[in-house]
Amino acid sequence: MITIKSAAEIQRMDAAGRIVEETLALMGRLARVGVTTRELDREAERYIRSQGAEPSFLGYRGYPRSICTSVNEQVVHGIPGSYRLKDGDILSVDVGACLDGFHGDAARTFLIGSVPEEVQQLVRVTRECFFVGLRYARAGCRVGDIGAAIQQHAESSGYGVVREMIGHGIGRNMHEEPDVPNYGRAGRGPRLAAGMTIAIEPMINLGTERILQLADGWTVVAADGLPSAHYENTVVITDGEPRLLTLHEEADSA
């Protein structure tokens, strides 16, 4: 069931969202050539706990780490481990934090060293896709309006839009209704209302939209082995402009 959050509940989500935002900023500073993804996971968990929060992902449906670290062709849910970042990699970091019973969730894709221009462009367009979709994250619009805008922007650059992995409602639970796909038809899907909180998260592939799941049961990769990028924020629907709970700097549009 879709829930409408009170002002007090949104305030608590905002506090969780700020921890997520700060954790991602820390990851951006630490993610350098030679660093392992497990080292990033340890630092992220340490910071989240230092703020009085819990890592939302740790133990969620059996997930073994505190953050997700997805490198190059990995779309989402990469498990931090012994991999050492290399010059030219891209690294998508997905972070969730739970504070006082409410969750925040966001993701960024970082450039490691000298990344080819075509891959840098993929990362830029994926971020743009979020802000294009955000234009429709307002009361009276429908979920399909968000997905259609994201799909059009990504596909106009020749990229593949992942279908199986989607955005979602969020609040007391990491995943709530409604589903928020990154594709679809305008005017379709649940109607958005003030007080709804959703995570919009474009996952865009340089090549095919098709994905595969690795034997670890978590890591999802692009089926053609080409790079994939991820950008996500937790968003509050209002009667006016949407409010970002995991990005408090001025939100520029695409």
Query: pLDDT of 179-208, one tens digit each?
Result: 999 999 999 999 999 999 999 999 999 999
Examine the pLDDT at 218 and tell me if it is beyond 60. yes
| Residue 249: per-residue pLDDT | 72
Q: Tens digits of per-residue pLDDT, 86-117? A: 999 999 999 999 999 999 999 999 999 999 99
Percentage above 70 pLDDT, the chain: 98
| Residue 253: per-residue pLDDT | 42
Examine the pLDDT at 124 and tell me if it is beyond 80. yes
Would you place residue 43 in the very low, low, confident or very high pLDDT band (cuts 50, 70, 90)?
A: very high
Examine the pLDDT at 254 and tell me if it is beyond 60. no
- Tell me which DSSP letter residue 172 carries: S
Mean pLDDT, rounded, for 142-161: 98
Examine the pLDDT at 216 and tell me if it is beyond 80. yes
And the tokens for 37? Answer: 């993804």
Contact 7, 94 (CB under 8 A): no
Mean pLDDT, rounded, for 33-54: 98
Examine the pLDDT at 250 and tell me if it is beyond 70. no
Distance CA 136, CA 192 (A): 9
Q: Tens digits of per-residue pLDDT, 29-42? A: 999 999 999 999 99
Examine the pLDDT at 251 and tell me if it is beyond 90. no
| Residue 64: per-residue pLDDT | 98
Round the average pLDDT of the chain to a whole number and report it.
Answer: 97
Examine the pLDDT at 252 and tell me if it is beyond 80. no
| Short-list 180, 185, 205, 194, CA closest to 238 | 194
The span from the first CA to the last CA of the chain, in angstroms, equals 32
Q: Is 241 exposed, middle or buried (0-12, 13-18, 19+ CB in 10 A)?
A: exposed
Examine the pLDDT at 22 and tell me if it is beyond 90. yes
Distance of CA 229 to the CA centre of its chain: 10
Mean pLDDT, rounded, for 44-54: 98
| Amino acid present at 183 | Y
Distance CA 74, CA 84 (A): 15
